[in-house]
C-alpha cells in the first residue's frame, strides 16, 4: 500500500497523521508500548503524543493499561503505563496497515 493510499484511508476514518503513526506503531507491538518508546516508534515528538493519545482514547481506538514493573518491591512499587490498541483500533488500523518503515521511507521522500 502506498503512502498516499494509507493517508487517504486514515482521512476516511478521521485519523490525523500523528494519530495514524501512533496506531501503526501500536499495531506492531500487541503487548503495548510506553510513551517514550511510542514517540520513537511513531516518529513524533513528546509534545504531540498526549494530544494524539487523548483523541485516540476518546474514539475507543487506544486504551491505557497500568502495569507493575517486572521487579515489584511490594504494594508501594511504582506502576507504569502502556498504551495498547483496542479491538476497534486493530480493526481501523488494519484498513491502512503497511510496514512502518515503508510508510516512513515513502513519507520522507515526499
Domain boundaries, the chain: 3-100
CATH topology assigned to domain 3-100: Arc Repressor Mutant, subunit A (1.10.10)
Tell me the β-bridge partners of 84. 63
Q: What is the mean pLDDT of residues 4-20?
A: 89
Give the predicted TM-score (pTM) of the model.
0.77
Mean pLDDT of the chain: 83
pLDDT over 80 at 28, yes or no: yes
Q: What is the mean pLDDT of residues 104-108?
A: 42
A 10 A CB-CB count for 34 gives 13
Cell matching residue 92? 481501523
Q: Quick one: which of 68, 31, 37, 38 has its CA closest to 53?
A: 38
pLDDT over 80 at 31, yes or no: yes
Element (H, E) at 47: none
Cell matching residue 30? 500487541
pLDDT over 50 at 105, yes or no: no
Cell matching residue 45? 515528538
Cα of 86 vs its chain's centroid, Å: 11
Which residue has better confidence, 102 or 39?
Answer: 39
pLDDT over 70 at 17, yes or no: yes
Amino acid at each position: 500500500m502506498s503512502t498516499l493510499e494509507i493517508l487517504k484511508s486514515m482521512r476516511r476514518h478521521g485519523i490525523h497523521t500523528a494519530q495514524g503513526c501512533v496506531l501503526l506503531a501500536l499495531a506492531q507491538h500487541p503487548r503495548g508500548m510506553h510513551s517514550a518508546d511510542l514517540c520513537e516508534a511513531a516518529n513524533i515528538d513528546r509534545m504531540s503524543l498526549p494530544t494524539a493519545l487523548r483523541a485516540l482514547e476518546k474514539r475507543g481506538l487506544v486504551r491505557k493499561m497500568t502495569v507493575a514493573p517486572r521487579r515489584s518491591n511490594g504494594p508501594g512499587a511504582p506502576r507504569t503505563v502502556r498504551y495498547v490498541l483496542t479491538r476497534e483500533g486493530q480493526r481501523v488500523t488494519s484498513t491502512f496497515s503497511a510496514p512502518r518503515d515503508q510508510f516512513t521511507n515513502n513519507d520522507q521522500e515526499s
